[in-house]
C-alpha cells in the first residue's frame, strides 16, 4: 500500500472513533434531557411534595401536595430506583399533562443526568482504546464517575 493510503486509513479510524464517542455523548445527553428539563426548567412547572403511599419494585404512587399555584392530585406516579419507605415525603415536579412526577432538588437533577454519566464512562473507554488519548479518557471517566457518585449520594 502506498504511504498516502495508510494516512487515509488512520484518518478514517480517528474519524470513526470520534464519531462513536460523540454518538455516545449525544445519546446520553438526549436521554438525560427528557427528565432533566422538568427538574431544571422550573418556570411554569408544578412543584410540590409527594407522599409515598404504595411502592413496588421501581414505581411508587401517592398523593401530590402542591406548592404555589399547582393543583393537588390524589394519585401521582414516580419511578424511584432508591430505597424509600411508605409514608416518606419526596420533593417532586410534575411532568406537564400527566400524573407522572420526577424527583426535584439536587438529587433529582443529578439523577436525571445519570444516562449522561454512563455515556461519559463509555466514551472514556472508546477514547482510550481507539484514540489512545489517555488524559482525555481519564477526564471523561472522572466526570462520569463523579456524576454517578453524586447522583447516588444525593438520593
Residue 89 and residue 126 share a domain:
no
Q: Which domain holds residue 87?
A: 50-105
Q: For the purposes of burial, counting CB atoms within 10 Å of the CB of 31, is it exposed (0-12), middle (13-18) or buried (19 or more)?
A: middle
Same domain, 58 and 95: yes
Shared domain check, 98 and 55: yes
- pLDDT averaged per 10 residues, the chain (length 155): 78 94 97 92 88 87 91 90 79 91 91 96 96 96 97 87
What pLDDT sits at residue 82?
A: 65
One domain for residues 55 and 92: yes
Total of domains in the chain:
2
133 and 153, same structural domain?
A: yes
In a domain, 89, yes or no: yes
pLDDT at 79: 87
121 and 74 fall within a common domain: no
Within a domain: residue 1? no
Do 130 and 85 lie in a common domain?
no
Q: Can you read off the three cell numbers belonging to residue 128?
A: 482510550
For residue 154, tell me if it sits in a domain.
Answer: yes
Residue 25 lies in a domain: no
Amino acid at each position: 500500500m502506498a504511504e498516502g493510503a495508510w494516512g487515509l486509513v488512520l484518518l478514517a479510524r480517528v474519524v470513526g472513533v470520534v464519531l462513536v464517542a460523540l454518538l455516545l455523548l449525544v445519546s446520553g445527553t438526549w436521554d438525560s434531557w427528557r427528565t432533566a428539563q422538568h427538574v431544571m426548567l422550573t418556570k411554569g412547572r408544578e412543584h410540590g411534595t409527594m407522599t409515598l403511599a404504595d411502592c413496588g419494585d421501581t414505581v411508587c404512587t401517592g398523593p401530590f401536595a402542591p406548592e404555589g399555584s399547582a393543583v393537588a392530585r390524589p394519585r401521582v406516579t414516580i419511578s424511584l430506583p432508591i430505597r424509600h419507605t411508605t409514608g416518606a415525603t419526596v420533593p417532586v415536579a410534575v411532568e406537564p399533562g400527566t400524573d407522572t412526577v420526577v424527583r426535584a432538588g439536587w438529587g433529582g437533577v443529578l439523577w436525571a443526568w445519570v444516562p449522561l454519566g454512563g455515556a461519559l464512562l463509555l466514551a472514556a473507554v472508546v477514547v482510550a482504546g481507539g484514540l489512545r488519548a489517555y488524559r482525555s479518557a481519564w477526564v471523561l471517566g472522572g466526570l462520569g464517575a463523579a456524576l454517578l457518585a453524586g447522583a447516588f449520594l444525593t438520593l
